[in-house]
Structure 1
């Protein structure tokens, strides 16, 4: 089973406009509202691809009511911790003319100590059935810095590998705690490490204790950096579409393979890159195209030993 934890879930709102013009008034058809947050998206994708999943997260306030209703209708197995603070919202504005997306994310509100403890308790209860733990998404302002390392350490004690997709200080703490896989994007890596070179930034996370760094680079594909090699995968031609959720699809691919006992770096990178690309072609986060296997066949993959520069 893939166990996902989403510390800062969101009700994702998506509108599509003909052309997004700053300062202008826009009209759009009815938008889509969906339960989200990175860990929820990971669980959606993995569940749709036939993996056994359990999504753990929180919900609160009026937005939490809509969040819970949609998550229940999705069919994704889940457990919720009720919190006092309202579930945050995210807004994605898709520019149909340019084919790009503008995103505004609310930061979220910090749960109480008792609510954090309840979420941790749900993780502890579910770990005995888990083959891999995924910790995905941001943490709300004021969240305890110990939460992510505590989850990683608890999973390690249970012999469960941990994949973490987060940013800022939490990304560094996850590396220090020995996460099996870290999945930042290029901007998050620079923000966390202060290192502009992507390979050196990834190696800084490895030096802190991470096992593998999967680095999303948008249209340039994805890097898998280990202590021994740097492997690069990209499509033979870029795709147009909505990149929201592409990183979550990559994490879902990695989690599905890890749950099946697959650890080969190139295999993981190929599947993660293909699922990420397959997410770009879909209108909403948490979905991938059925054509992902064809996309995987289109990948150009190169590997460079540590002694050489990629």
Structure 2
């Protein structure tokens, strides 16, 4: 069972326009509204590929009603925690001419203590239902935290998962990324910019090593068109396609997390296998118009993924060049 938690979900609104002109007026066909947030995108991809999933999130206000209705129609198994604050919105404008996407994310409203407690209880209950044929559950914590969220929220959920033997994947940013490493999340999946911002370390491999020294076991580092790195205490592996793909990158990282979660739920732990599948699913997500989906050509993409072990600085606690904050 894969249990995903989206602590700051959003109603995703997507419009496709011919070309984005700053300061201009744009016309578009009717947009698409979808229950979103990184954990829900992970759950959609995993569910579509046959993995047992339960998606947990909060929902509130008029946008929360629309959010809940769309998620119910999706068929993804889920549980929504009612909250007083309205569910935020995320707006994506896809430039068809350039193949680029411009995103505006509302920050979200912080649930109250009793609402966070209800979410934690839903996580505990879901993980208790999760073991299947002796396999450990996988807990995925994805996305931003709303402003004002308790500092203990993410570490507490990670410890909850670890206490029941779950493999924990965290895909977050800023101070929460460091907190997830300190709490012992099994897998962390930052991109290069998030890693540099959180650690203050300019070199991405050294930054990944910092997360390992703090307590993570595997860092999957997204590097955009340059593919991904898997960094453990024993090896550094790189995976990439020969040529980058043009399209909508908004769900690429979530597809990579879904790939990792699905394989871990099946008992696959080899970092190379995780990296290869994550790179392929990430690339396949770029080919789709909406986050939470991957293109059916992903097996061909996986076959085309190039994997090597580059000659990089040996793992050690960085002493080190840090980026200005």
> Is TM > 0.5 for Structure 1 vs Structure 2?
yes
Matches of 2:247 and 2:61, distance apart in 1: 32
Matches of 1:306 and 1:158, distance apart in 2: 36
CA shift digits 1:227-276 (9 cap, x unpaired): 11111100111101000110000000000011011100000000000000
Instruction: Report the counterpart of residue 69 of structure 2 in structure 1.
Output: 69
Q: Are the equivalent residues in 2 in contact too, given 1:110–1:140 (CA < 8 A)?
A: yes
Unaligned ranges ≥5, structure 1: none
**Secondary structure in 2 aligned to 1:245?**
helix
How much does 1:53 deviate?
A: 0.1
Matches of 1:236 and 1:190, distance apart in 2: 26
Matches for 1:164-175 after TM superposition, within 5 Å: 164-175=170-181
Matches of 2:129 and 2:142, distance apart in 1: 19
2:43 aligned with 1:43: yes
Matches of 1:307 and 1:246, distance apart in 2: 28
Instruction: Report the counterpart of residue 198 of structure 1 in structure 2.
Output: 204
2:269 aligned with 1:263: yes
Equivalent pairs, count: 309
CA shift digits 1:179-213 (9 cap, x unpaired): 00000111110110011111001001111011100
2:100 aligned with 1:94: no
Q: Are the equivalent residues in 2 in contact too, given 1:91–1:103 (CA < 8 A)?
A: yes
How much does 1:308 deviate?
A: 5.1
Matches of 2:63 and 2:191, distance apart in 1: 28
**Secondary structure in 1 aligned to 2:250?**
coil
Instruction: Report the counterpart of residue 276 of structure 1 in structure 2.
Output: 282
* RMSD value, Cα: 1.1
Q: Are the equivalent residues in 2 in contact too, given 1:278–1:292 (CA < 8 A)?
A: yes
How much does 1:307 deviate?
A: 5.5
233, 237, 260: which is aligned to 1:227?
A: 233
Q: Are the equivalent residues in 2 in contact too, given 1:12–1:34 (CA < 8 A)?
A: yes
2:146 aligned with 1:140: yes
Instruction: Report the counterpart of residue 7 of structure 1 in structure 2.
Output: 7
Matches of 2:307 and 2:265, distance apart in 1: 24
Instruction: Report the counterpart of residue 239 of structure 1 in structure 2.
Output: 245
How much does 1:304 deviate?
A: 3.9
Matches of 1:222 and 1:103, distance apart in 2: 22
Unaligned ranges ≥5, structure 2: 131-136, 316-325
Matches of 1:306 and 1:245, distance apart in 2: 29
Matches of 2:119 and 2:129, distance apart in 1: 17
How much does 1:129 deviate?
A: 2.8
Q: Which runs of 4+ in 1 moved over 6 A?
A: none
Q: Are the equivalent residues in 2 in contact too, given 1:41–1:286 (CA < 8 A)?
A: yes
Q: 1:3 to 1:193 in 2, by over 3 A?
A: same
Instruction: Report the counterpart of residue 295 of structure 2 in structure 1.
Output: 289
